Structure 1
Amino acid sequence: MVDVVIRRYGPADEQAFFAMLEGEGDDWREYVGPAGRPAYARAMRSSIAYLLLVDGELCGYARCRDDDGFGVYVHDLLVRGPHRGRHLGRALMERVCADAPGQTVYVMSDVDPYYEKLGYARAGSIFVVTPGA
């Protein structure tokens, strides 16, 4: 049986979090480089962020912002390659929705086919998340 835990990110997670991102290659380079890391560390601390752990291994995250009751915007979503295809990204999105009852959750996407596959409706250049879609 696989143990999947989704929990909120905290300051003590910073080192493990950036180690995970460093392993993700060029797509995440701007977040982990000398100029980007301090800025992204601040962004993580000021965001609603969730970590995904599978059997204790950090293997994904979601970073969101609450727009003062006008919606929650997911800015970043990552599930590491070896863990993809197991509905873990959907689980992260469902956790965001569960923690924002009554609010619309939007995704700021650069991977549109993934969100289309999940059944989320396009709203202009973003997607509206539908839990359980």
Structure 2
Amino acid sequence: MSSILKYQKKHEHELISLLGKEPDWSSFLGDDAIDKFKDALLESETFLCESEGNICGYLRALVDGFGIYISELYVSPQYRGAGFGAELLERIKQEYPKQDVYVLSDEDAYYEKLGYERVGSVFKL
């Protein structure tokens, strides 16, 4: 059983700890970036996926009135393949039903598998 939660400051430690286990996320968590990242989590549209009481993933999107731009989508390796990423994507679409949602990603195969339309170099949800 999973649930999608709106990110709050109280989730910071658990999310940062989860991402700290992934070497690819060091650019967000290094000494020169961590404070900016923490601020961005609060200032953006950020949602968490929780399974069995544990944060297992998150989505962060930028909103500017012209569209919704997903900056990061992450699901912990042990939870991948269970649909949590798709749940997070669906939640952001539900929050902004009248706006186009775009993904800024280098994981093209994932979004193609979900059936999303490629628009230039980004995917439109």
Q: How far off its partner does 1:16 sit?
A: 1.0
Instruction: Give runs of aligned pairs for residues 61-80 of structure 1, distance below 5 A.
Output: 61-68=58-65, 70-80=66-76
Q: How far off its partner does 1:12 sit?
A: 1.2
Count of residues in Structure 1 that have an aligned counterpart in Structure 2: 125
Q: Which amino acid aligns with 2:45?
A: I
Following the alignment from structure 1 to structure 2, what is the Cα–Cα distance between the partners of residues 44 and 5?
A: 18
Instruction: Give runs of aligned pairs for residues 26-105 of structure 1, distance below 5 A.
Output: 26-68=23-65, 70-105=66-101
Following the alignment from structure 2 to structure 1, what is the Cα–Cα distance between the partners of residues 54 and 39?
A: 23
RMSD: 0.8
Runs of 4+ in 1 over 4 A off after TM superposition: none
Corresponding position of 1:115: 111
Following the alignment from structure 2 to structure 1, what is the Cα–Cα distance between the partners of residues 17 and 49?
A: 14
SS in 1 for 2:86: helix
Q: TM-score, normalised by structure 2?
A: 0.97
Structure 1: gaps of 5 or more residues: none
Following the alignment from structure 2 to structure 1, what is the Cα–Cα distance between the partners of residues 97 and 110?
A: 23
Q: Which amino acid aligns with 1:122?
A: R
Structure 2: gaps of 5 or more residues: none
Identity %: 38
Q: How far off its partner does 1:42 sit?
A: 1.1
